[in-house]
Amino acid sequence: MASCDITLEAVSSVSQIAATDWDACANPAPCAGNPDSGRPAYNPFVSHAFFAALEQSGSASPRTGWGPRHLVAKRGADIVGLVPCYLKSHSRGEYVFDHGWADAYERAGGSYYPKLQASVPFTPATGPRLLVRSGGDPLTVRSALAQGLMALCNATTASSVHVTFTREDESKLLAEHGFLQRTDQQFHWHNAGYGSFEDFLAELSSRHRKAIRRERRDALANGITIHPLTGSELTEEAWDAFFAFYMETGSRKWGRPYLTRDFYSRIGATMADKVALIMAKRNGRWIAGAINFIGSDTLFGRHWGAIEHHPFLHFEVCYYQAIEFAIRHRLPTVEAGAQGEHKIARGYLPQTTYSAHYIADPALRRAVRDYLARERLYVAEAGRALTEAGPFRKAAPDEPT
């Protein structure tokens, strides 16, 4: 595959790409001589270390239905761009749901699997997907990668390509190349320069302030203490406890949790300063925890688990402690993961997310295009309504605290 002076190839493991080359595309530095030249926000999920932990731990592997097909763009011998991509035999672990498309296509006599998934496995967090090294001509490289994904779809006899939780600008570029646009929503918290959690509460209506204070008090009523761990505090003993929580809760939610125990050891070894593990302890033992990843401007909440269940502990560990951490470290945003309208009452507001989908079969493409046009209207209207119903004070004076 080639575009102008760019050649493209697919590799079957992140280990086939040097970490320095991968990270230069995933989280590029500013252009030489201009340190303020559009430096993108650091995103931990697209780093080489994160993908290496997923693949080398056996969490994302051909055995689990995630066969790496990372698309690499080169100029000569130099890597100038890439797309993390997997050939998949199912639609699990993606959080952008296309099961209905698969069922309809199968009933019509088609084969929806395999398909190509350009995403971060098991991670519903927005970030770049068309990764381009700084310098040169980024638009040309991104366009070549978009064309390369369609060519890779044909070469692997996949039914489709799904670029999920991508940035809005990338979604629009992919649309120019024939990808269908899809929107959804999550709930994110935004830091308005708060100096403390109480400063944040002051922006809420009295009813919501009182509810949050009560929840935080009741969450710790049984002698529970909260311990944020990062860096060297992330011991194997802490990972053992957290993995037990993950298995307990993940088995009930998904049937089979996605991540292996080895995954946590690997990120603890290579990404400890990018992890905030919020742990809860009672009677001298760990009982619950939530894992967060630290970007340059966002705290990304991922998953939580518990072996004891106490009222409001989930909200404290996952949402309120994340807000505390973001305020303390001056992070502008907390992304709290997929779904959950209950997050609105805790100060998290609707945020549109984007994905782009290339469907090879013209008939399926038409059906999906019509469906997505209706879905986008619904998502936009739901977002407006949910924002209006948010917990923040309106323009009129609020009742006393």
User: Is-contact 356 179, C-beta < 8 A?
Assistant: yes
Q: Does position 245 have pLDDT exceeding 60, yes or no?
A: yes
Q: Does position 193 have pLDDT exceeding 90, yes or no?
A: yes
pLDDT of residue 36: 42
User: Is-contact 93 122, C-beta < 8 A?
Assistant: yes
Give the Cα separation of 144 and 142 in Å (integer).
5
Rg (CA), the chain: 22
Instruction: Give the E-state strand segments of 84-139 in sequence order.
Output: 86-88, 115-118, 131-132
Please state the rounded mean pLDDT for residues 236-241.
98
Q: Does position 40 have pLDDT exceeding 90, yes or no?
A: no
Give the Cα separation of 47 and 164 in Å (integer).
17
Task: Please name the residues in contact with 148: beta carbons below 8 A apart, sequence gap of 6 or more.
Answer: 1, 3, 8, 71, 73, 83
Q: Does position 143 have pLDDT exceeding 50, yes or no?
A: yes
* Residue 239 structure tokens: 């990972």
Count of Cβ atoms closer than 10 Å to residue 39 Cβ = 15
Cis, bond preceding 350 (omega within 30 deg of 0): no
pLDDT of residue 54: 98
Give the Cα separation of 342 and 339 in Å (integer).
9
Closest CA to 346 of 325, 316, 326: 316
Lowest mean pLDDT among 2-16, 60-74, 138-152, 260-274: 2-16
Pairing of strands 275-282, 285-294: antiparallel
Q: Does position 2 have pLDDT exceeding 50, yes or no?
A: no
Please state the rounded mean pLDDT for residues 369-375.
97
265: helix, strand or coil: helix
pLDDT of residue 300: 98
Domain 2-185+352-387 has CATH 3.40.630.30: yes
Q: Where in the chain is the domain with CATH 3.40.630.30?
A: 2-185+352-387, 192-331
Q: Does position 39 have pLDDT exceeding 80, yes or no?
A: no
Sign, Cα dihedral of 178, 182, 187, 191: positive
Lowest mean pLDDT among 119-123, 160-164, 384-388: 384-388
Q: How far is CA 20 from each of CA 80, 130, 242, 383, rounded to the nearest angstrom?
A: 12, 17, 30, 39
Phi and psi for 260 in degrees, rounded to 5?
Answer: -90, 165
Q: How distant is the alpha carbon of residue 16 from its chain centre? A: 24
Query: What's the whole-number average pLDDT of the chain?
Result: 93
Q: Does position 378 have pLDDT exceeding 70, yes or no?
A: yes
pLDDT of residue 338: 83
- Taking the model in full, what pTM does it have? 0.93
Q: Give 98: exposed, middle or buried? Use CB within 10 Å, 0-12, 13-18, 19+.
A: buried
Region for residue 4 given its phi and psi (left: phi exceeds 0; alpha: psi -120 to 50; beta: otherwise): left
Give the Cα separation of 346 and 358 in Å (integer).
37
Percent of the chain with pLDDT over 90: 88
* Residue 129 structure tokens: 């997907």
Give the Cα separation of 53 and 14 in Å (integer).
10
Task: Please name the residues in contact with 145: beta carbons below 8 A apart, sequence gap of 6 or more.
Answer: 8, 71, 73, 81, 82, 83, 130, 132
Please state the rounded mean pLDDT for residues 79-105.
96
pLDDT of residue 33: 39
Model confidence band, residue 136 (pLDDT cutoffs 50, 70, 90): confident
In the numeric block, the tokens 């130099």 are attached to 78
Domain 192-331 has CATH 3.40.630.30: yes
In the numeric block, the tokens 């992140």 are attached to 14
292: helix, strand or coil: strand
Cis, bond preceding 311 (omega within 30 deg of 0): no
Q: Does position 37 have pLDDT exceeding 80, yes or no?
A: no
Q: Does position 281 have pLDDT exceeding 60, yes or no?
A: yes
Q: Does position 163 have pLDDT exceeding 80, yes or no?
A: yes
